[in-house]
Amino acid sequence: MVDFDKYKIILASQSPRRKLLLEGMGFKFEVIHADIEEVFPENLKITEVPVYLAQKKAESLTNLLKDNVLLITADTIVSVDNLILGKPKDADEASHILQLISGRSHNVITGVCIKTLNKERTFYAESKVYFRTLTDEEISYYIRNYKPFDKAGAYGIQEWIGYIGIERIEGSYFNVMGLPTQMLYNEISKF
């Protein structure tokens, strides 16, 4: 079992879902924001992109590390047909993204970096999500009522569209929410 009091944990994320998931795991932690430009080298494999970004976030915050501090950073991407679907800028882009994933599968990949003064560990989890075909009305309703502009792939699995649209998942549900909790727990227990 992880010694929850061994470290002062810092979660560098603006995601309310990551905060909720970490709380659900029983950790006490502080939340800060890692302000980086989310750009990456074009030669990276898709599974390397969120790991690279999570590591870049951690590197930007190394000044916070002290003997008892454990920093957690993460980044989630959605991909379909080897194309990374980012966070939509507006309703039109959200509609386009949701039409792209409607009636087919896509991959959700979350990269995580755990960092202390003396140790760093990166890993990723990948889940395959299958959507039924969504109607234009369903897509419009979701965008209008849930405004998914802060979400990779333009949706939150824990919201209305996840309830009515997702047929099945291969992999971790919590990874699709933004944090592979079981893997994170295992990795923290090794520190």
Give yes or no for a contact between 134 and 98, defined as CB atoms under 8 angstroms apart: yes
Sequence-ordered strand ranges (E) for the chain:
8-12, 29-32, 69-80, 83-85, 105-115, 120-131, 166-170
Active site residue 150: no
Residue 57 CB neighbour total at 10 angstroms: 24
- Looking at 75, 81, 92, 136, which residue is catalytic? 75
Quick one: CA dihedral 145, 151, 154, 155, positive or negative?
A: negative
* Alpha helical stretches, state H, 25-159: 48-59, 91-101, 136-146
Cα–Cα distance for residue pair 24/21, rounded to 1 Å: 5
Q: Which residues are catalytic?
A: 75
